[in-house]
């Protein structure tokens, strides 16, 4: 079952929980987003054809999901799909269909604009195996973030703001993470949050056992950071 978080319109912080779905309340129009991460939900194969996700306008994948699962969602819902790879996903390769989610956009170190929302992605996790795919040391993650920063600066010049939604697999350091070798957050993501100041940060990697012990939603300056597992439906206010 999904959960709904009602946000204070004054401070933008969680004030209560109700059943069913996560809803970010805000005056004006909203965009309905299906965010998924880390675990295949078999019931999706029943819910989607039954119209349970009618009105969803975008799918955001936070990593560690079979690409066939993402392809099913984008085919059935017929809306834009943006995703980042997780530490259990293959290295991206445009030449092989098994190394990408067809019909979607790999957002890793890229930016995009969809329905006036500015998106950017940062895939992978902390390095916990010497040759792990999509795994990075803290220093390597900072170098990758530097590549993304140039695109965010272009956004700021063009749109007057750098970013609305940052999609990552890893959590930020010290926010929704833990001190295990595989689940420590990336400090480069903290840096991106400070510099780009997105309205929302969606991440995966932290599974249900952790979510039962700590908040799923945290306010980090102007950014609402959300741990997505295994899926949430989110209504995001329009940028305008």
pLDDT in tens, the chain (240 residues): 343 333 322 223 333 332 233 444 334 588 999 999 999 999 999 999 999 999 999 999 999 999 999 999 999 999 999 999 999 999 988 788 888 999 999 999 999 999 999 999 999 999 999 989 999 999 999 999 999 999 999 999 999 999 999 999 999 999 999 989 999 999 999 999 999 999 999 999 997 555 556 678 999 999 999 999 999 999 998 775
Residue 114, φ and ψ in degrees, nearest 5 = -135, 120
Residue 4, φ and ψ in degrees, nearest 5 = -110, 130
User: 2-7 and 14-20 as β-strands: parallel, antiparallel, unpaired?
Assistant: antiparallel
- CA distance linking residue 45 with residue 73, whole number of Å: 9
Tell me the CA distances in angstroms from 24 to 29, 51, 222, one per residue in order: 11, 22, 14
C-alpha neighbours within 13 Å on the C-beta side of residue 122? 35
Q: Give residue 214's pLDDT.
A: 62
- CA distance linking residue 136 with residue 128, whole number of Å: 8
Q: Which residue has the tokens 């916990």?
A: 128
- CA distance linking residue 186 with residue 177, whole number of Å: 9
Q: Strand order in 217-220's β-sheet? A: 111-114, 117-122, 165-168, 200-203, 223-227, 217-220
- CA distance linking residue 63 with residue 97, whole number of Å: 17
Q: pTM for this one?
A: 0.87
The helix (run of H) or strand (run of E) holding residue 147 is helix 138-159
Tell me the CA distances in angstroms from 39 to 17, 138, 204, 228, one per residue in order: 23, 26, 10, 10
- Sorted by sequence, the CB contacts under 8 Å of residue 46 that are 6+ apart come out as none
**Per CATH, the architecture of 2-237 is what?**
4-Layer Sandwich (3.60)
Q: How many residues does the chain have?
A: 240
Q: What is the DSSP letter of 193?
A: H
- CA distance linking residue 150 with residue 203, whole number of Å: 22
Task: Quote the tokens at residue 194.
Answer: 């400070």
């Amino acid at each position: 079952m999904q959960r709904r978080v009602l946000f204070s319109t004054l401070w933008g912080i969680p004030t209560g929980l109700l059943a069913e779905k996560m809803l970010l309340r805000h005056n004006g129009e909203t965009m309905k987003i299906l965010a998924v991460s880390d675990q295949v939900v078999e019931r999706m194969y029943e819910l989607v054809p039954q119209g349970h996700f009618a009105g969803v306008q975008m799918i955001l994948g936070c990593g560690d999901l079979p690409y066939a699962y993402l392809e099913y969602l984008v085919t059935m819902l017929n809306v834009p799909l943006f995703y980042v790879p997780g530490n259990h996903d293959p290295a991206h390769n445009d030449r092989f269909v098994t190394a990408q989610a067809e019909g979607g956009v790999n957002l890793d170190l890229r930016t995009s604009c969809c329905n006036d929302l500015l998106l950017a992605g940062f895939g992978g996790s902390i390095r916990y195996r010497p040759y792990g795919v999509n795994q990075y040391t803290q220093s390597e993650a900072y170098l990758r973030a530097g590549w993304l920063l140039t695109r965010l600066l272009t956004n700021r010049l063009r749109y007057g703001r750098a970013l609305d939604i940052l999609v990552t697999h890893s959590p930020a350091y010290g926010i929704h993470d833990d001190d295990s070798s595989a689940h420590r957050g990336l400090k480069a993501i903290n840096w991106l949050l400070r510099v780009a100041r997105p309205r929302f940060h969606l991440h995966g990697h932290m599974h249900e056992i952790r979510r039962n012990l700590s908040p799923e939603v945290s306010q980090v300056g102007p950014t609402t950071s959300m741990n997505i597992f295994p899926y949430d439906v989110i209504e995001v206010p329009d940028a305008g």
